[in-house]
Amino acid sequence: MRSPAANAELALLLEVAGTPKPGNVDRHRDLAGLRFEHFLAGAVGARPGLADAESGAPVGEAFERAVAGMSDQSGGNTQFGCLLLLTPLVRAAAERGLTPESVSNVVEHTTVADAAGFYRAFDHVDVAVPDLPDDAYALDVRRGSDAVPELESRGLTLSDVMAESAPADGNAVEWTSGFPRTFAAADHIESGDGLILDRAADAFLFLLADEPDSLVAGQHGPETAREVSERASELLDAPRADVAAFADDLVARGVNPGTTADITSAALFVALERGVSV
């Protein structure tokens, strides 16, 4: 029987191997400078931090170690957002079993030190984040560890930081609301038929159709995010070749629904913890 950390690593591998995943790297598609093998290496590199989360290490510390390991490949940021979701999920699974209530308990008990670990993770890799107003510079996550003194002076926990980031950031919304989309997509994976890699791709499309991707909205504007989501809705029951054409189109346009990929990896983890076989 796999441990929660092993299931989290496997979820990262299954997420990137599923295809087609419109706009994202998968086993048939690379992006400029960011390739399939970078994601494989990122998943393996993240394992020690995920194991720390399983062992009861503070969430921020485990997350930073996972990100540091993930970044030990030449492609840059591969799975930062995935790890932000997986770390509290792994901790919850190891402590008291995986439910919306157990992961909410982990989130509610995060500390200022956890928030500092989250900020220090930005020292290891460049992460796409939207520009902030000038008066928010002191707590801009892109400052990484330089922002920690300000963070500590305000006494902000990691839960507080996520609450500040929601609703513009889909991952922060998951953190602050009991991971509803993660668990819904896990149900979708569990109830599906066929190979787990096909179900991973189906879950990605299910999530993209359900809600506009927050990374797309941040990078290309809400209208583009809605357009992409509406097109995904039209393709839910379409032949896989049509979804593949949509995937190629988004890659060509540089539109990357990365938040959707993050939640897909978290959903795969939940499904694996529930016993979905591979």
Q: Which two tokens stand for residue 19?
A: 């295809």
Segment 136-163 shows an average pLDDT of 93
Q: What is the mean pLDDT of residues 227-241?
A: 97
pLDDT category at 276 given cuts 50, 70, 90 is very high
**Over 70: is that where the pLDDT of 90 sits?**
yes
Q: Does the pLDDT value for residue 46 go beyond 70?
A: yes
The closest alpha carbon to 92, from 179, 185, 187, 184, belongs to 179
Q: At 96, is the pLDDT very low, low, confident or very high (cuts 50, 70, 90)?
A: confident
Q: 3-class DSSP state for residue 114?
A: helix
Residue whose tokens read 């999530």: 207
Q: Yes or no: say if 74 and 30 are a contact pair by the CB < 8 Å rule.
A: no
Q: Which domains does the chain have, with CATH numbers?
A: 4-200+259-273 (1.10.4200.10)
The long-range contacts involving 189-193, CB below 8 angstroms and separated by at least 24 positions, are 189/267, 189/268, 189/271, 189/276, 190/271, 190/274, 190/276
**Averaged pLDDT for residues 82-99:** 96
How confident is the model at residue 159, as a pLDDT?
A: 97
Model pLDDT for residues 102-143, shown as the tens digit of each residue: 999 999 999 999 999 999 999 999 998 877 666 678 889 999
pLDDT in tens, 198-216: 999 999 999 999 999 999 9
Q: What is the DSSP letter of 91?
A: H
Cite the beta strand spans of 101-251 per DSSP E: none
* Residue 108, phi then psi, degrees to nearest 5: -65, -25
